[in-house]
Amino acid sequence: MDAPHSDALLRELTAPQCEAVQHVDGPMLILAGPGSGKTRVVTHRIAYLLSQNIPDWQIAALTFTNKAADEMRLRLDKLAPGQKVWMGTFHRFCAQLLRRYASMVGLQENYSIYDTSDSKQAMKRATEAAGVSTTHASPDQIANVISKAKNKLITPDVMEGQMLSPKETVAAKVYPVYQRQLLTANAVDFDDLLLHVANLLRHSPELRGELDQRFRYILVDEYQDTNLAQYAIVRALSIDHPNLSVTGDPDQSIYGWRGADLNNILDFEKDYPSVKTVRLEQNYRSTPNVLRVADQLIRHNRRRKQKNLFTDNDEGEPVILRWFENGYEEADSIADEIVAAISSDLARPNDFAIFCRMNSLTRSLEHALRGRGVPYQIVNGVEFYQRKEIKDVLAYLHLVNNPGHDVALTRVINTPTRGIGAKTVQRIQAFADSHNIPMLEAARRAEQIESLAKRSVTMVKKFVTIYDRIAARATAPLEELMRCVVQESGYDKFLEKNSDDADDSSPLGNVDELISAAVDFDRRHPDDGSLEAFLEQVALVSDTDAFEENDQRVTLMTLHASKGLEFPRVFIIGVEDDLLPHKRSKEDDAQFEEERRLLFVGITRAKQWLQLSCCKRRMIRGDTRPVIASPFLNELPLEEMKRIESTVQRNYFDHDIDQSGGGDWDLPEIQIRDEVQADVSFDFGANQDEDVLSADDQAREPAPTFDAVAEESSPQEVKSQSIPEIGALKTAADLMSGNRPPLTAFREGTTVRHYDYGEGTILAVSGLGPKRMARVQFADGEHNFRLAFAKLEVVGP
């Protein structure tokens, strides 16, 4: 290991940054405003610790996302090549500890990790087994209550003794049953990873001491998002060696609804009286214009720590606040603006991001962008690992790894269909429950299940035989095992029968890709080629991380997903009452303040340019309703912002609604309810044919209707109308068509040709599904491609 020289590390850091970096022993709280170079400070500090001859294995850096951990590792590697600091998510940290100490909590070391849908499934079963009526609580609600309880380290027996709401009472009855079933299945859910480890540390002082000793320097990122379980873990590891340093910003806490406890950061100074507190308040990201808006807004929160954000950046353009007639106009206008900026070479697609409160709001944007041939990506669309065919194949593997994985068994026992119906499964389940054995075991003893028909017994037995054939290969390389699953189970034939198109979003293509992921894994882990490790990887690495900033595409995402990112130009849409402070968040102050922080996070993503917009009405769940502006808008420095009432008039409705309005609009009382009700009969889309454009309308061009725009956009038109050519991409429409080789053809070492860069060799492939990426070495350097969209030809092996 190369210990970097400490002087070099401190160069180019501001005074507060230096102060944080040079802190070695004792607790430290870094209050880091948005864009204040937080990651830089953390990585430099780790490098500094190493330079002070602290062994790398004594340091652990905990993050919430894999993405953050990867980023940190990458940057640290540049400062201190070859170090072996433990870096990763809380969940992975716990998963690894739990592998080792599984027996102490009643698990075996090959335990399975249930993902959210697995756990829902299990919860459903537990609810049935608990025999409680579900009229007062949906499975989702029960799951929520239990998850929250786990995050607060509340065990089933403790919960039972508490004062509870009706919903919680139901959940309290399900909880112990659910936990027992998980244990029987040798499985944990995401929350359990934390819960088990927290309990372990609490109940075993020896182990706690040992681990405290081992991880002497602990760094936690995004500390404002920790829940009680995480807090307890970190605390337990910082008693004898309280060298805990946490980084966070109370103003960016937006996961309270998932159990994050703002008190952890607000009270950190109370927990550790000797704490050193460092404030990073200089912002390197945004213009003063953007920053002032953010600051004014967040000042309205009461539960926070005062910060003084400032920046040396250029003033930039004023923040825009824009008011549209409806969601379609909003989408069209934004898309038009993006097209204009791109085609006049002022910006590239990846300079833009569009944020919204709800995923469903991206739909009209997608439509508008697609119609104009603007390439875009939606972060958190359908995830690869959530697809049915992938879950199916993985379920077989889960079952091989852990025969107790009942959720997996339920999933595959009749997939592909082999004549084992719901009734049969239910009976097996009941038998398993009454004997306290896994369902697979019950299936083996099918003939002992009295309620089962002869025919069913035969079918079940047949399934067990198939399973055994697969399980016999458990220790084979993953690729082989996976192919075996697909063949033996008959899944390949099943897929072929059900797949019509052979492009890469087809089930067959996806399974192919899963196999190629297995190949990658085999290659990277030649020695321990373990199924267990692969499954853990899959469970803990979601593909949300695969957001690609170098891709030439506009990014659409929720405000939540935007945290930690930055973009030159940002649009935040739907800044409306009941949407941005969401309707369901208005009951208590804590939630309301969290909504405000959400907007704060969105605003502070913008580097140079920002537009907030709201509409007079918006279609929500099928019907169009009048809408009023968000109360948060009143809290912004309106006088210095550029306010625009919709400029482009589009003929969405058969008649127009109050275009007069003129002049400045008064935000505080945007109450259009009355006008609209007076003017009700709008019913867009439906009557457009009857009401052919009048001369008046035609004069006021452009007046394409929403549908017309979409219809007209044939690929040719798209080309002429918009972006000539952006980087290595032409238009999205271009790329979506045409014959491309299957994604699995791209492997490490494959020679490919790109029409711009010439021939190159693939250095690495990562990610799955539409997010699969390749790093390619060309004569003039390395380039990254998203395989589903890249124009790459396969030349050699």
Residues that bind DNA (CB under 7 A): 64-67, 89, 91-92, 116, 138, 190, 222, 225, 255, 257-258, 260, 357-360, 363, 380, 414, 417-424, 456, 540-542, 544-545, 557-558, 560-561, 563, 582, 584-585, 591, 595, 619, 621-623
- Residue 34 marked ligand-binding: yes
**Catalytic annotation, pick one of 115, 189, 192, 222:** 222
Determine the Cα–Cα distance for residues 632 and 630; give it in Å rounded to an integer: 5
Nearer to DNA, 282 or 558 (CB): 558
Q: Does residue 32 have a known ligand-binding role?
A: yes
* CB 191, min distance to DNA, A: 7
Q: Name the E strands within 504-635.
A: 554-558, 567-572, 606-620, 623-626
Given the complex with DNA, which of 413 and 484 has the nearer CB atom? 413
Tokens of 678: 């007076």
**Residue owning tokens 């430099």:** 44
Q: Do the annotations mark residue 33 as ligand-binding?
A: yes
Q: Which is nearer to DNA, 54 or 170 (CB)?
A: 170
Distance in angstroms (rounded) separating the CA atoms of residues 310 and 295: 10
Q: Which is nearer to DNA, 323 or 592 (CB)?
A: 592
| Shortest separation between residue 696's beta carbon and DNA, angstroms | 27
Catalytic residue among 43, 226, 230, 252: 252
Please provide residue 613's backbone torsions phi and psi, each rounded to the nearest 5 degrees. Answer: -140, 155
- Smallest separation, CB 65 to DNA (Å): 4
Q: Least distance in Å: CB of 388 to DNA?
A: 9
224 catalytic, yes or no?
Answer: no
CB of 190 to DNA, least distance (A): 4
If the CB atoms of residues 4 and 259 are measured against DNA, the closer one turns out to be: 259
Report d(CA 772, CA 767) in Å as an integer. Answer: 4
Question: Based on CB atoms, which residue is closest to DNA, 339 or 579?
Answer: 579
**CB 87, min distance to DNA, A:** 13
Residue 261 CB, nearest approach to DNA (Å): 11
CB 139 to DNA: min, Å: 8
Angle at 296 between CA 579 and CA 302, to 5 degrees: 75
Q: What is the rounded CA–CA span in Å between residue 227 and residue 212? A: 20
617 as an active site residue: the answer is no
Q: Using N-to-C axis directions, what is the helix angle for 228-236 and 190-203, rounded to 10°?
A: 40
Q: Where are the alpha helices (DSSP H) in 541-694?
A: 559-562, 589-603, 673-678
- Of the candidates 219, 237, 239, the one whose C-alpha atom is nearest the C-alpha of residue 41 is 219
DSSP state of 589: H
Would the annotation count 327 as a binding residue? no
Peptide bond into 16 cis (omega under 30): no
> CA angle, 743 as apex, 741 and 746 as ends, to 5°?
90
Min CB(741)–DNA separation in Å: 29
Beta bridge partners of 279: 31
589-623 in b/e form (b: 16+ CB < 10 A) is: eebbbbbbbbbbbbbbbbbbbbbbbbbbbbbbeee
- Rg of the chain over all Cα atoms, to the nearest angstrom: 28
Contacts of 293 (CB under 8 A, 6+ apart): 319, 603, 610, 636, 637, 641
- The position carrying tokens 């112990």 is 176
- Asked if 374 and 709 touch (Cβ cutoff 8 Å), the reply is no
Helix, strand or coil for residue 781? strand
Closest contact distance (angstroms) between CB of 505 and DNA is 14
564 is in an annotated binding site: no
Burial of residue 329 (number of CB atoms within 10 Å: 0-12, 13-18, 19+): buried
Task: Quote the CA–CA distance of 268 and 275 in Å, as a whole number.
Answer: 8
Q: Do residues 277 and 304 touch, judged by C-beta distance below 8 A?
A: no
Q: How far is CA 526 from CA 517, 521, 529, 531, 640, in A?
A: 14, 8, 5, 12, 61
Closest to DNA by CB, 481 or 539: 539
Alpha carbon 387 to chain centroid, angstroms:
16
Q: At what angle do helices 90-101 and 531-540 cross, to 10 degrees?
A: 150
* 189 given a catalytic annotation: no
**Cβ-based nearer residue to DNA, 380 or 761:** 380
CB of 564 to DNA, least distance (A): 8
Active-site residue, from 168, 192, 221, 543: 221
447 is catalytic: no
Of 436, 434, 467, 432, nearest in space to 446 by CA: 432
Q: Which of 45, 92, 605, 650 is catalytic?
A: 605
Q: Where are the beta strands (DSSP E) in 681-757?
A: 751-754
Helix axis angle, 66-79 to 38-51, nearest 10°: 50
- Report whether the peptide linkage leading into residue 416 is cis, meaning its omega lies within 30 degrees of zero: yes
The residue among 623 and 639 lying less far from DNA, judged by its C-beta, is 623
Q: Are 38 and 280 in contact (CB under 8 A)?
A: yes
- Establish whether 252 is a catalytic residue: yes
- Torsion-angle region of residue 781: left (phi > 0), alpha (psi -120 to 50) or beta? left
Q: Is 119 annotated in some ligand binding site?
A: no
Here the tokens at position 749 are 């070492």
Query: Would residue 221 show up in a list of annotated catalytic residues for this protein?
Result: yes
Residue tagged active-site, from 39, 181, 688, 744: 39
Q: Which is nearer to DNA, 448 or 498 (CB)?
A: 498
Nearest CB to DNA, comparing residues 260 and 776? 260
Residue positions forming the annotated binding site = 32-39
Catalogue the active-site residues. Answer: 38-39, 221-222, 252, 605
> What are the binding residues for ATP?
32-39
